[in-house]
Structure 1
Amino acid sequence: MNTQPTTDTDTDTDEKRGLSFKLDMQAYTLIIALVLIAVIFGFFTGGEFLSSRNLSNLFSQMSVVAVLAIGMTLIIVAGHIDLSVGSLVGLTGGVTAILHVWYDWNTFAVVVAAIVVGAILGAWQGWWVAYRAVPAFIVTLGGMLIFRGILIGLSKGQTIAPMSNSFKDISNSYFPFGLGYLLALVSIGMLYFWTVRNRSKRKDMGLLLPTQLIDYGKIGVYSFFILLATYMLNRYHGIPTPILIVVLLAAIFIFISNKTAFGRYVYAIGGNPEAAALSGINIKRNTLWVFISMGALAGVAGVILTSRLNAATVNAGNMYELDAIAACVIGGTSLMGGKGKVVGALIGALIMASIDNGMSMMNIETFWQYIVKGLILIVAVWIDIASKK
C-alpha cells in the first residue's frame, strides 16, 4: 500500500485555508447581522423600516458617523484613540456656517476652509501624541473640551442659520436615477477588475490563491447588495449625495490602507511598535499623518452635518466620537491595534444607525437606545478579546 506522508507544507496550506475561511466568516457575520436587524425591524414596523423613503433617510443619517468611522479605523489600527472628533465636527461645522452666513463666503471656499481647519487641529493633536509622547486618550480628551469651548466662543452661543441653497444641496440632494444605476454598474465592474488583477498578481508571485468560488462569490454578494440598494433608493428620490461622498472617501482610504506604504506602516505600528521601529518605519511622522487625516475627515463630516441641519449649533456633533468608535469596534477593528478594515467600520456605522432608526420607528424610549448600543459595544469588544485568546 502506497501511503504518502503529510508534509509540513501541506499542513501550512491547510492552516492558511482555514484562516482564510475564518476571516471570510468574520466578515460575512456583519452582513448577516445587518440582514437580521433589517428583517426584525421590518417585521415590527409593518415593513416601513424597509421602505425606500426610510432607507434613504437612514443612509443620509449614517453618513456623518460613517465618515468619522473611516478615519477612526486608521487611528485605532495605529494603536490610538480620538475622543475629540465629535467636538471637531461641531467646530468645523460652526466655522463653515460663520464664514458662509456672517462673512458671505461661497460654498466651495467654506468647504475647503472646514477641511483645512480640521486637518490643522488634527495635526496639532498628532504633534502632542507623536512628538511629545502624551497619550492620545489625554490629548484628545483635552481637545474635546478645547474645541467645544472654541465653538461656543466663536458662535457666541448662537445657532447660525440659514445656509444657501448650494450649501444645503451637499446633504439634501440626490443623484439622478440613470446615473445611479450607471455608478452601480461601474462599481461592480471595478470590483471584478480588481479581483482578477489581484488574483493574477498573487499567482505571478507564487502566493496562495483563494478558490475562485470565494473570490467571485464575494463579487456576487457585493453586486447583489449594490444593485438592491440602488434600486430601493431610486424608488424614492435617488441615491443621496452624502452616501456618494462616503463611498468616495471609503474607496480612497481602502486604497491607502491596502495599496500604499503608509497604510502598511500604520498596520505595522499598531501591531508591534517595537518591530516597526526596528524595521526603519518613522513612527512619529506616520502617527502625525494619521491624526491629520482624521482631522480632515472630521471637517468633511462637519460640512455634511451642517448642510443637513441647515444650521450650526453649539451641540452639533455631541457624542459622535462614541458612535464612531463603536462603529469601528463592531466592524471588527481591534482596540489593541494592528487590525481593522474600513469596510467593516462602514457596516458597523450602518448597524448603529439601523438600531437607532428602527427603535425610533417602534416608539421605543430613548434610554433603551443608549442601553442597547452600549451592550452591543461591550459584546463586540469581548468577542475581539476572546478571539485573540
Structure 2
Amino acid sequence: MIGITKYLQTGTNKKLSNKALLMRFAPLLSLILLMLFFSLSSPYFLNTDNLMTIALQTSVIGILAIGVTYVIITAGIDLSLGSVVAFSGVLVGLAASFGLPISLCVLAGVLGGWICGFINGFLVTKGTIPPFIATLGLMMSARGVNLVLTDGRALYFLQYPGFQMLAQGKLFNFLPYPVIYLIVLAAGAAYILNKTVIGRYIYAVGSNEEAAHLSGIKVNRVKVFVYVFCGVLTGIAGVILASRLNSAQPTAGMGYELQAIAAVVIGGTSLMGGVGTIGGTIIGAFIMSVLNNGLNLIGVSQFWQMVAMGIVVVAAVYLDTVRKRI
C-alpha cells in the first residue's frame, strides 16, 4: 500500500514538474513559433538585414527591460522609464550646447538616469510611497522638466557629428553597436542577479520582504539599489536613443515604460515578485519586436498590432498566475 502511494506521488510530481518546465520555457517556445510563422508568411522575414533591424529595434527596449526586471523581481514597478529616457537625452543635448566634450555629455545623460532612479528609490523607501504612485509622479514631473528645459523644441548635435556613431555604427559593418550594448549589459545584469550576494538579496526581498528583513537583509538598501540600477540603464538607453535620432527630443520615449514592462512580464518575471531572469526578459523583448516586425511585413494594420500586443501581455500575465498554481 505504501509502495502504491509513493508511486502515485512520484507520478503526480513528475506531471507537475513537466508542467512547470513547460511554463518555464513557454517564452522561448513562443518566440520560436512566432519566427517560424512569420518566416513562412513572408519571404523577407529571415533576410539578414531584417533580422538585424529586429535586433536594433529590440536594443533600447531591451536595455530598459533589463533594468526594470530588477525592480519587478522585488515586487516593485517603474512607470517613469519613458520620461527618464527623454530626460537623459535632454541632458546630453544641454551639455553639448555648452560645448562640453562628448564623453562628459554622455556621462551627463547617464547621471540623469542615476538621479531619477535614486529619487524613485528614496520615495519608495524613505517616503513609503507605493512604487506605482512614486514612479507615476516622476514620470509626469520628468516629462514636464524636459519641456521646460528645451522650451518644447528638439536639441540637435550638429557640432558633434561623431555622436551618432554611438548608435548608428556597426561592428565589422554588420552588427549594430546598440545590439552589442544590449548583449554586454544583459550578461552583466545576469551575472549580478545569479552570482552575487546582492542578486540573492533581490530575490529574497521579492519573495518575502518581511522574512528578508528578519533574516538581516537591509531591505531598503536593496530597493534603492534596484531603482538606481534601473535608472542608470534607463540613462544609457536615453543616450543611445538620442544618438540614433541625432537629437534630444523632449517627447521621446512615450510609451516605452509599457513596452519594457510588457517585455519583462512576457519573459516570465512575476509581477508579484521573487521570480524572473534576464534571459527571459531578453526573449520577451524579442517576442515584441518580432511580433511588430512580422505583422508589418504581412501588412497588418498598426491598430490591430496594438490589439495583438495587448492580447500577448494579458496571456503572459495569465501564464504567470497558472505557473503559481503549479
Q: What range describes the TM-score normalised by the shorter chain of this pair?
A: over 0.9
Return the index of the structure with the highest Cα Rg.
Answer: 1
Q: Distance in 2 between matches of 1:119 and 1:8?
A: 56
What residue in structure 2 maps to residue 35 of structure 1?
32
Aligned residues of 2:23 and 2:323 also touching (Cα < 8 A): no
2:2 is equivalent to residue 66 of structure 1: no
Q: Distance in 2 between matches of 1:284 and 1:10?
A: 46
What residue in structure 2 maps to residue 259 of structure 1?
195
Check 1:52–1:131 CA distance in 2 against 1; reply closer, same or farther (3 A cut): same
Alignment of 1:106-117 (within 5 A): 106-117=101-112
Q: Distance in 2 between matches of 1:73 and 1:22?
A: 24
What residue in structure 2 maps to residue 99 of structure 1?
95
Aligned residues of 1:69 and 1:325 also touching (Cα < 8 A): yes
3-state DSSP class of the match of 2:162? helix
Q: Distance in 1 between matches of 2:132 and 2:283?
A: 25
2:220 is equivalent to residue 284 of structure 1: yes
Query: 1:105, CA displacement in angstroms?
Result: 2.3
Aligned residues of 1:60 and 1:171 also touching (Cα < 8 A): no
Alignment of 1:115-154 (within 5 A): 115-154=110-149
3-state DSSP class of the match of 1:378? helix
2:248 is equivalent to residue 312 of structure 1: yes
Counterpart amino acid of residue 354 in structure 1: V
Query: 1:117, CA displacement in angstroms?
Result: 1.3
Q: Distance in 2 between matches of 1:305 and 1:30?
A: 27
Aligned-pair identity in percent equals 37
Which runs of 5 or more residues in structure 1 are unaligned? 177-236
Q: Distance in 1 between matches of 2:225 and 2:206?
A: 14
TM-score (norm 2): 0.93
Aligned residues of 2:23 and 2:319 also touching (Cα < 8 A): no
Q: Distance in 2 between matches of 1:311 and 1:161?
A: 4
Query: 1:317, CA displacement in angstroms?
Result: 0.5
TM-score (norm 1): 0.78
Q: Return structure 1 stretches of 4+ with deviation > 6 angstroms.
A: 7-20
Aligned residues of 1:175 and 1:240 also touching (Cα < 8 A): yes
1:44 aligned to which of 13, 21, 41: 41
Query: 1:44, CA displacement in angstroms?
Result: 2.4
Counterpart amino acid of residue 110 in structure 1: C
2:87 is equivalent to residue 54 of structure 1: no
Per-residue CA deviations over 1:101-147 (Å, capped at 9, x if unaligned) read x1222222122111111111110110010112100000000011001
Which runs of 5 or more residues in structure 2 are unaligned? none
What residue in structure 1 maps to residue 155 of structure 2?
160
Per-residue CA deviations over 1:249-296 (Å, capped at 9, x if unaligned) read 111111111111111111111111111111011011110111100110
Aligned length: 324
Aligned residues of 2:69 and 2:278 also touching (Cα < 8 A): yes
Q: Distance in 2 between matches of 1:289 and 1:50?
A: 40
2:290 aligned to which of 351, 354, 367: 354
Alignment of 1:1-389 (within 5 A): 22-45=19-42, 47-100=43-96, 102-163=97-158, 164-176=160-172, 237-389=173-325
Query: 1:40, CA displacement in angstroms?
Result: 1.8
